[in-house]
Amino acid sequence: MPQATPAESHDSAAVISFPAVLRKKVTGAFDGGRLTSDGGVVLLAQAEREMGICKRLAACIADPRDPARVIHRVDDILRARVLAIACGYEDADDLDALRDDPGFRLALGKSPEAGVGLASQPTMSRWENAPTTRELARMMIAMVGIYCASYSKPPKAVTLDIDDTCDVVHGYQQLSFWNGHHGERCFLPIHVYDTATGRPVAMLLRTGKTPSGAEAAGHIRRLVRHIRQHWPATHITVRGDGHYGRPEVMAFCEAHGIDYVFGLPTNAALRANPDIVAAADACAVQRAEENRVVLRSYAEIRYGAKSWKCQRRVVARIEASTLGMDIRYVVTSLAEGSAEHIYDSLYCARGQAENLIKRHKSQLSSDRTSCRSANANQMRLILHTAAYWLMWRIQQAIPKTSALAAAEFATLRLRLLKVAARVIETATRIRIAFASACPEASTFRAIAAAFRPAPT
């Protein structure tokens, strides 16, 4: 059996002193040899190989380098960057320290110690800034293809949630804009999710102002066109808040057989509608008679704003409480289902998309869009979305009986990726020795087994 790599003995290694234990002096130094604190990166590498994300993205970028002099292929450069993001190293600077990490070297198919390590930070940064606008568009189309390929067969129906989020800028970058609602100079990137399954669909960097109806309709039109190339028969429902309940968006959806559920901002005409006024008065009276703190009821009408070319179904959620009356509106193309079902079961479910956006930003640091160039920041958004896909795939491979099956990405990173390991290389094999006391050893084994190729 191969022996563990001995600790390196460097006289120059700075010794760290700790309190004595059982009258024995305790010291430490960073001289342990071929150790990695990210042993779970090999699971991420298996997920990436299965999905082929980085190979697809690299195929969208032209490589003008002389093939005879290339040391790091584009897909390997992207792969190292995406794996590092998933492991919590969101800055390209971290790759200078990780380029000789044995776990990351193995994840990229390299020897743990011999040969050239990972690409350096300058190389990473050059390739973040390399793609043209046309190449970025191809990469975004490839990401939609990855979403569709994540299903084993085309689903009968999907519901896509579209929303934008405030991404505060760190300077006067391209596309940055002052937003009075958020009180910040920011981007407002658009995120689209298949919320029921947690799958990311598309992420688009854009200026820091609310999208107009024509802009929102254009984004949805392009997204639907690319999805239809993979799923011509799948029924699509689009869901969003009042930003997307615009006449241009609704007209496009109706013309192409797409259902929608959008928030609808209130106005004087809705507040004065006799059906809604009667339902609100009845709700307030019933709440008072029953002495309740809060009472909720629903109403629906046919309504057409001046900018609309037809009347549409509008659902009102009416809530009477000791604090007063609160009425929210939703416009939908769906003819079936009660008003309560449309609002509570369908529209309110889009709240989960906001949680997914927070996960994308806070747990994968996708708001680190600090480049001067808008193209470079869009490239970063694509790379962070690729890291999201890898974490999602790890989550799907966890046994449903495990406590981690519904865990957040930050928890998965802490429990499954940040695992200490010693890498042992001999003439005929490479062995990864994980900590014997790893609390998630059984889950780790199950994930690795799920990614193991079927025997041929």
| pLDDT tens digit sequence for 58-94 | 999 999 999 999 889 999 999 999 999 999 999 888 8
Check residue 417 and report its DSSP letter.
I
Cα–Cα distances (Å) from 236 to 49, 155, 303, 442, in that order, read: 29, 10, 24, 39
- Cβ atoms of 328 and 339 closer than 8 Å: no
**% pLDDT > 70, the chain:** 96
Q: Which residues of 13-50 are buried (b: 16+ CB within 10 A; e: fewer)?
A: eeeeeeeeeeeeeeeeeeeeebbbebbbbbbbbbbbbe
pLDDT for residue 15 = 85
- Output the pTM of the full model: 0.91
pLDDT for residue 454 = 63
Coil/strand/helix, residue 301? strand
23-29 long-range contacts, CB within 8 A, separation 24+: none
Q: Tokens 């059996």 label which residue?
A: 1
Is residue 317 very low, low, confident or very high in pLDDT (cuts 50, 70, 90)? Answer: very high
Mean pLDDT along residues 436-443: 90
- 418: CB partners within 8 A, 6+ apart: 37, 38, 40, 87, 88
pLDDT for residue 9 = 47
Check residue 171 and report its DSSP letter.
S
Check residue 19 and report its DSSP letter.
E
Which pLDDT tens digit goes with each residue over 170-200? Answer: 888 999 999 988 899 999 999 999 999 999 9
Mean pLDDT along residues 373-380: 95
Which pLDDT tens digit goes with each residue over 120-136? Answer: 999 999 999 999 999 99
Is residue 12 very low, low, confident or very high in pLDDT (cuts 50, 70, 90)? Answer: low
Q: Average pLDDT over the chain, rounded to whole?
A: 91
350 has pLDDT over 80: yes
Label residue 417 left, alpha or beta by phi (over 0 means left) and psi (-120 to 50 means alpha).
alpha
Which pLDDT tens digit goes with each residue over 245-289? Answer: 999 999 999 999 999 999 999 999 999 999 999 999 999 999 999
6 has pLDDT over 90: no
CA dihedral of residues 309, 228, 50, 138 (deg, nearest 10): -80
HSE, side-chain direction, 13 A CA sphere, residue 454? 1
Distance of CA 9 to the CA centre of its chain: 43
pLDDT for residue 96 = 87
Is residue 201 very low, low, confident or very high in pLDDT (cuts 50, 70, 90)? Answer: very high
Mean pLDDT along residues 297-304: 93
- 193: CB partners within 8 A, 6+ apart: 160, 161, 199, 200, 201, 353, 356, 357
Pairing of strands 235-240, 157-164: parallel
